[in-house]
Amino acid sequence: MPYRTTDRTRDKKDAKRTAMMQAAVRVFAEKGYHAATVRDIVAAADVAIGTFYFYFPDKETLFVYLYEETADFLLRTVEQGLRRGDSWPGRLAAALQSFVNIATYEPAVVQLLLVGGVGAVPALVESRGRFRNELADLWQEALDEAIAAGELRPQNSRLTAQGLAGAFDEIVLHLLSLPEPTMVAAAVIQEMTTFALRATGYSQ
Amino acid sequence: MPYRTTDRTRDKKDAKRTAMMQAAVRVFAEKGYHAATVRDIVAAADVAIGTFYFYFPDKETLFVYLYEETADFLLRTVEQGLRRGDSWPGRLAAALQSFVNIATYEPAVVQLLLVGGVGAVPALVESRGRFRNELADLWQEALDEAIAAGELRPQNSRLTAQGLAGAFDEIVLHLLSLPEPTMVAAAVIQEMTTFALRATGYSQ
Amino acid sequence: MPYRTTDRTRDKKDAKRTAMMQAAVRVFAEKGYHAATVRDIVAAADVAIGTFYFYFPDKETLFVYLYEETADFLLRTVEQGLRRGDSWPGRLAAALQSFVNIATYEPAVVQLLLVGGVGAVPALVESRGRFRNELADLWQEALDEAIAAGELRPQNSRLTAQGLAGAFDEIVLHLLSLPEPTMVAAAVIQEMTTFALRATGYSQ
Amino acid sequence: MPYRTTDRTRDKKDAKRTAMMQAAVRVFAEKGYHAATVRDIVAAADVAIGTFYFYFPDKETLFVYLYEETADFLLRTVEQGLRRGDSWPGRLAAALQSFVNIATYEPAVVQLLLVGGVGAVPALVESRGRFRNELADLWQEALDEAIAAGELRPQNSRLTAQGLAGAFDEIVLHLLSLPEPTMVAAAVIQEMTTFALRATGYSQ
DNA sequence: TATGAATGAGAATTCATTCAT
DNA sequence: TATGAATGAATTCTCATTCAT
């Protein structure tokens, strides 16, 4: 057999696939689902239009997939942050650090998740709902642990979790709209932590 | 309906124009900017397509205009709520009451503002930024007054305001995703108030 | 109302619609379903591509509709021919006259029905089957009447009818492939009649 | 399989090539020329797409080639049938037996020839014309021999031949549309023979 | 003012074909 | 010989917008 699906060719294919997905994330984040055309994406990835359809079934499927991948990445990152600290303030600060890191170094991730294509892709409504729920789950679990540990007073941890998630989004989105987000990131993390400690009724 | 209650539109007695705008809000809220076609809008308003272009220059301009009108309506309503109470908890509860009222009785308003077409309409980025800023301004002013009155301790009122705005959005959006939002609205307002009092460091 | 859906505008619309359908029949007959592009059709009708979709839902629907219209036209014409004569030979000759007339003066009709798009459009399989059945029905009825009248001997009139229909198609298709079909049409009709009288066992 | 039994392909011992051609006949017959993609064909033959272009110059050339091969196969088979009998009715019955055998056991052959891609492939118009002519030639020769032998009365044997060819196609195509063609094949052959004897003016 | 027929740029997607390996 | 990744012309269809009536 003169032609083999060797490791090298497979690696190459995977690499191209990954490159195209990264290009797609950038374009989707920048323009939103509808305004981003397949031509934009292939131009960003520097391939022909047919190549797109060789790797992906269609634009919508790719978008939903990227959304879910991205959501998963964000969730896992925040989750790891939450595991890093040994007290509620510590876990909180670590998780916010993680979140703000993603936002400043991979702004496309946040753009895609928070403003990308909601309302544009029916199939996404469900994905978005799942994402917001899982994000709230994450915070709620952390809250419940802190409550169980006596660090926080009993409260409606579900609603608190939702409130925190929404608050962090708003603040980070605003941060990203500043000319030099990295310059103030540390201070914002500090302030967000303070806000969140208050919001969760943490004293001392 | 938002654009009926504001000054900008009150004087325009054009019934047909108003009907078309109401139809447009509904359609935009339901389908999102791109999926909503001009044909959908004129069908909902029961006029011909040419009529649309007699009253409005184009789809995008109308959308941005509706967004701003709607944002204005929401801001004014929340502002009125904030003026109704005579203490921070009172003002807070009244403002949240107003906000949740809009969300439950005019869900299209919230849909339009929060998920409508951000990312889809470039011209909207600026409008959205302005809306979020003005919303934060509102809360910040209320916070600063409460701080000045000694009801709240000094804090970064800007960031707190942003956090509150984001938290309320998330919670209300989740409320709207429930099968019977009105059934739990009162309880949610109560819980949101509790959350916000904690988040603003209110004690006693 | 400055604009009215007057008779004149409606007539104009109908005329355009008809013109486009005629153009479509020509193009489909000439190129077959797949090779005929919507661009070809609108070029032949001298309208813009959007106009096509203003009048027709899509290419396939139009094709199937034209096929059925055309089949119906052919069936009705042959049927009338069959009613014109007062004996089996007379009816036969009249029907063949009608059929050959269509074929020579409207070759597109025959092209569309016999070679147009069979195999290309799934939805057409059924239409084609119905057409061939109805054509056989026509001949069978005529045969059964002639048998009942004692003009023909009893026979499997269904199979005879199918045979006649197939035979006529083949002969007429060959006729159309000649450089000057009209020059030999009369002679061919004569010969076809002779063939068909033999095939139906007509004597004297 | 047609191209196995003809001289043209017998010497080509290329199994892969043959497998691809057999797959192609099936796919073309099933889907028609346009709807059958090269990918369908290579999938059916279980080879890679590049292999297709190693063996065949392009899709259209292959199709025309297959059409001609298949036509050749059918012509040779019918011809053999015509040689088997020793009287006109005997030859007729044998030829029809051969034809119906092909149709029932290799329906793809008939599908390809009769509904495959006429109108879809410009280059096929000529091939089809040649096929129909050769088929008519076959019947005409048999008729002329029978006339010369005094079995049939003098007649326009060309037109009779065309008529028979068309009639047989129609009847066989209808046979194939039945749920169980083989169950009625024998009876249909019998009836077709009767029809053809009448149509050729055979008496006694 | 109001209408709706007409337009055509532009989008997603397909698929025959090529060519480096 | 055989492979399949890559290509891009071509196709169908949508929809914002215009303009004669």
Contacts 24+ apart (CB under 8 A), B138-141: B138/B75, B138/B78, B138/B79, B138/B82, B139/B164, B139/B165
- pLDDT for the residue numbered A120: 65
pTM over 0.85: yes
Write the pLDDT tens digit of every residue in A11-27.
888 889 999 999 999 99
How many CA atoms lie within 13 Å of A144's alpha carbon, on the beta-carbon side? 9
Amino acid identity of A96? Answer: L
- pLDDT for the residue numbered D10: 46
How large is the average pLDDT for residues B73-93?
96
Q: Where are the domains of chain B?
A: 1-56, 59-199
- pLDDT for the residue numbered C2: 52
Per-position pLDDT tens, chain D of length 204: 444 445 444 444 488 899 999 999 999 999 888 889 999 999 999 999 999 999 999 999 999 999 999 999 999 999 999 999 899 999 999 999 999 999 999 999 998 887 666 666 878 888 999 999 999 999 999 999 999 999 999 999 999 999 999 999 999 999 999 999 999 999 999 999 999 999 999 986
> Average model confidence (pLDDT) for chain C?
93
Contact indicator for B193, B180 with CB cutoff of 8 Å: no
Interface test with D, best of C31, C140, C152, C162 (most D CBs within 10 A): C162
Token code pair at residue A64: 């939903």
Whole-angstrom Cα Rg for chain D: 18
CATH architecture of D1-56: Orthogonal Bundle (1.10)
CB nearest B159 (choices: A116, A162, A171): A171
Whole-angstrom distance, CA of residue A129 vs CA of residue B174: 9
How far, in whole angstroms, is CA B65 from its chain's centroid?
A: 14
Whole-angstrom distance, CA of residue A84 vs CA of residue B93: 36
Write the pLDDT tens digit of every residue in B8-57.
444 444 888 999 999 999 999 998 888 899 999 999 999 999 999 999 99
Query: Are A170 and B163 a contacting pair at CB < 8 A?
Result: yes
Please state, as a whole number, how many other Cβ atoms lie within 10 Å of the Cβ of residue A183: 11
For tokens 């029907």, the residue is: C95
Q: Which residues contact D99 (CB under 8 A, 6 or more apart)?
A: D74, D77, D78, D81, D168, D172
A177 DSSP assignment: T
Contact indicator for A163, A112 with CB cutoff of 8 Å: no
Each residue of A52-72: b (16+ CB within 10 Å) or e? Answer: beebbeebbebbbebbeebbe
| Lowest mean pLDDT segment, chosen from A53-57, B55-59, B108-112 | B108-112
- pLDDT for the residue numbered A75: 98
How distant is C1' of F11 from CA of D135, in Å? 37
Taking contacts as CB-CB distances below 8 angstroms, the residues of chain B near A119 are 31-33, 35, 111, 115-117, 120
Residues of B with CB under 8 A from a CB of A: 31-35, 111, 115-120, 122, 129, 132, 136, 155-156, 159-160, 162-171, 173-174, 177, 188, 191-192, 194-195, 198-201
Please state, as a whole number, how many other Cβ atoms lie within 10 Å of the Cβ of residue D130: 12
Q: Which chain D residue shows the shortest CA-CA distance from C118?
A: D115
Q: Which chain B residue shows the shortest CA-CA distance from A27?
A: B119
- Cβ < 7 Å from strand E, A residues 3-32: 3, 9
- pLDDT for the residue numbered C125: 85
Nearest to B67 by CA among B19, B24, B12: B24
Higher pLDDT among residues B4 and A145, named by residue: A145
Contact indicator for D199, D167 with CB cutoff of 8 Å: yes
CATH superfamily of A59-199: Tetracycline Repressor, domain 2 (1.10.357.10)
Query: Are B166 and A170 a contacting pair at CB < 8 A?
Result: yes
Write the pLDDT tens digit of every residue in C42-88.
999 999 999 999 999 999 999 999 999 999 999 999 999 999 989 99
